[in-house]
Homo-oligomer: A and B are copies of this chain.
Amino acid sequence: VGVSKEQAAQNRRDIIATANRLFRERGVTAVGLSELMQAAGFTQGGFYNHFESKDALVTEVVGAAMGEGKSEFVAAFSKATHDEPGGLARYNEHYLSKEHRDDIQGGCPVAGFAGIAPQLTECAQSNFVSGLDDLITLIAGLIVRDPAYDAGQCARSLRQQAIDHYCKLLGALMLSRATARSSPQLADEILESVELSL
């Protein structure tokens, strides 16, 4: 068939991007390689030109999703707000928005994979952990620049506060997603009941 090296690399990225969407939406196990390749615009046989196995793909998908998530975070909340203080509030608002809740295919990759992370391969889970660690650090960066942050009250480290803060965001998002289809009312109520303080 014949395809340039750049085109092949792009196709590889397309497969990963498609898998990222499908895996988050329906679960890794529920998505077959045949369906995946078809959704990405190829026939199923080509899969093994790019990946050694389905497990290897999953590992790459998690790694890529975490990397993209980090880049997007930096662009939207760290870089953009480097000289202005409202980054944390904007992140909170975005994270707990209905748009983010309804965008399971996209959005925060930690929230997208946390539910199945216990069942991931060691390698894939390791990519998850690296991305999570980066996110914690980035959130700590937002906290320290927040006007409400009081460096004096430091019984807890900045990192502890970042973890604490993120746990609540994650819990609310996952719970809202978990209930969205059966009870949209409860799903919305969850997002609205969470209070983010420093």
Within 8 A of B (CB), among A156-198: 156, 159-161, 163-164, 166-172, 174-175, 177-183, 186, 189-190, 192-195
Closest B residue to A190 by beta carbon equals B163
| Chain B residues near A166 (CB-CB < 8 A) | 171, 175
| Chain B residues near A164 (CB-CB < 8 A) | 168, 193-195
- How many copies of this kind of chain does the complex include? 2
For the complex, what is the distance from the CA of A110 to the CA of B178, rounded to whole Å?
10
| Chain B residues near A126 (CB-CB < 8 A) | 182-183
| Chain B residues near A132 (CB-CB < 8 A) | 175, 178-179, 186
Is A33 part of the contact surface with B, judged by Cβ < 8 Å? no
Closest B residue to A128 by beta carbon equals B178
| Chain B residues near A3 (CB-CB < 8 A) | none
Binding site secondary structure of chain A: helix
Closest B residue to A117 by beta carbon equals B178
For the complex, what is the distance from the CA of A178 to the CA of B174, rounded to whole Å?
13
For the complex, what is the distance from the CA of A144 to the CA of B113, rounded to whole Å?
35
Docked-complex contact B122 and A181, CB < 8 angstroms: yes
Within 8 A of B (CB), among A2-58: 26-27, 29-30
In the assembled complex, the CB of A197 is this many whole angstroms from the nearest CB of chain B, namely 9
**The 10 residue pairs across chains A and B that have the minimum distance between CB atoms:** A115-B115, A171-B171, A117-B178, A167-B171, A29-B29, A163-B193, A170-B171, A160-B193, A125-B182, A167-B172
